[in-house]
Amino acid sequence: MKSLKRMLLIQTLLMIVFLICITTISEVFDKKIHFLFILSFIFMNLLIISKLKSESNFIEKKGPPQLLKLNQREHYLTGEQEEIIYNKIRLIVETFENMHKLSKKDYLKKVFDSAFELITEAEKGSFFEFDGDKYVPILSKGYDFETLMKLSFKKDVAFIGFEYADNPNIEAYETYIPERDSSKFSKEIIEAFKELGTYSGFTSLYAPIQVDGNNVGMICLENFNKIGFKRTSKKILKHYAQLISHFYSQRIYQEKKTKFYKDTVTALASAIEIKDIYTEGHGQRVQEYSCLIAQKMNLSMEQIENIKIASLLHDIGKIGIPIEILHKPGPLTKDEYETIKLHPEYSKKILENIDGFSKIVELAYAHHEHYDGSGYPLGLKGKEIPIEAHIIQLADAYDAMTSERSYRKAMSKEKAIEVIRNGSGKQFHPDIAKIAVEDVFTLYK
């Protein structure tokens, strides 16, 4: 009964880990990567349990004769063994926790450290990334990193003395190095090997990191006791290498997607300026002011990134406004002004067709709303307006006042600041107006 309870506890813990991992990776990766992560996770759990069973010596409890046969058939886990299993599971959980919030370097370190701890035979380890035309170290365990930095390998040199198959199936390999071939490395590299203790008499367990069949890195673990690594350790490293490879694949995909977004944003911003020559450079200036204000307010990186895009594209809807109204040299009629007021709606219609732009749409749509509710298109006020839109609205107003238009000359910086002070709590959010005037506009050249 006691053994059954323990096994149920372990199975429950594994299920919790499984659910946590699914929830986390589903926020970040597409379906294909999501599926591969789940498979890797399941395999790793099975391997770890197998590894623990092979490493643990199960005990038989002595008892009355009638229980002896039962005890001979049943295995029990000691408290120490349960703690080992718990710690292994905890390592996997921590590998997946908040992965979408981590930088590339922090995530790789987290995964590398986890693999190193799970593979208990490892005494030292390193992670090399293919940068330009060379493999260079970015992470290490047990090695002096400054000495490790002396090592950099061309692609055709990296696997000298190591078994390696150039194929899309990621595998882990184990090799014993009795002594490096000095004729195939430079004198400096050989000296670095000797300083690190990897010139002779060690075993390396390693796996390439691949994206679309191309090597982008290599994870290596070493021991120096001539015992080598267990078969399950080799399988665990293989699945960790697959995990890291999936991460690189997704990062490259995200970088391409981000570049597409930036190219789209740049093209749209250019379209505005072609339509209205008086707004040339307006989007870039509003973007710069907005980001400076946001930074002074200590907004999050995500908020600042949304502001950066929305502020550049806030007037994209003016593409739908007749050019004779945009370039009219005198005051607008009531009907013409009502037409101008349609441009946030047009911005919304244009931008909402871009995948992932929901927040950008919201901010661009609200950039003419006023703190006191006197703005348009919805007449929102106060906290009903996103803080990012309050910032863009103020930056937009300041640049409009200090720029020349077809119907008026540019206002001086001092006069524009006075207008903002007078409009604080009315058109402008008072806290944002104070920061903008004191920490941005008065200091901005």
DSSP code per residue over 312-338: HHTTGGGGGS-HHHHT-SSPPPHHHHH
Asked whether the predicted pLDDT for residue 364 surpasses 50, the reply is yes
Q: Give the pLDDT of residue 348.
A: 93
pTM of the model: 0.53
**94: confidence class by pLDDT, cuts 50, 70, 90:** low
Longest dimension (CA), the chain: 107
Fold equal for 117-254 and 276-441: no
Per-residue model confidence (pLDDT) at position 84: 58
- pLDDT band of residue 72 (cuts 50, 70, 90) is very low
- The 10s digit of each residue's pLDDT in 378-402 is 999 999 999 999 999 999 999 999 9
Domain 117-254: assigned CATH number: 3.30.450.40
What ranges do the domains of the chain cover?
1-101, 117-254, 276-441
- List, for residues 30-67, the tens digit of each pLDDT value: 444 444 455 455 555 555 555 444 544 443 344 444 43
Percent of the chain with pLDDT over 70: 72
Digit-coded pLDDT (tens) for 142-184: 999 999 999 988 776 666 556 555 556 788 999 999 999 888 8
Which residues, other chains included, contact 402 with Cβ-Cβ below 8 Å and sequence gap of 6+? 410, 411, 412, 413, 416
**What gap in Å lies between CA 195 and CA 183, rounded to an integer?**
18
Better-scored residue on pLDDT, 2 or 340: 340
Residue 339 has what pLDDT? Answer: 94
Q: If you ran DSSP here, which 8-state letter would residue 89 be given?
A: H
pLDDT at 81: 58
What is the dotted CATH code of the domain comprising 276-441? 1.10.3210.10
97-129 pLDDT, tens digit per residue, is 555 667 788 888 888 988 888 898 999 999 999
Rounded Cα–Cα distance for residues 24 and 100 (Å): 8
CB-based burial, 28-56: b 16+ in 10 Å, e otherwise:
ebeeebbebbeebbeebbebbbebbeeee
Q: Which residue has the higher pLDDT, 158 or 219?
A: 219
pLDDT at 353: 80
Query: pLDDT at position 277, please?
Result: 64
Specify the pLDDT at position 92.
58
Give the per-residue pLDDT at 98.
59
What lies within 8 Å, CB to CB, of 101 at 6+ separation is none
User: What is the average per-residue pLDDT within 182-205?
Assistant: 92
pLDDT higher than 70, residue 71? no
What average pLDDT does the structure give for the chain?
A: 79
Tell me the pLDDT tens digit for each residue of 418-438.
999 999 999 999 999 999 999
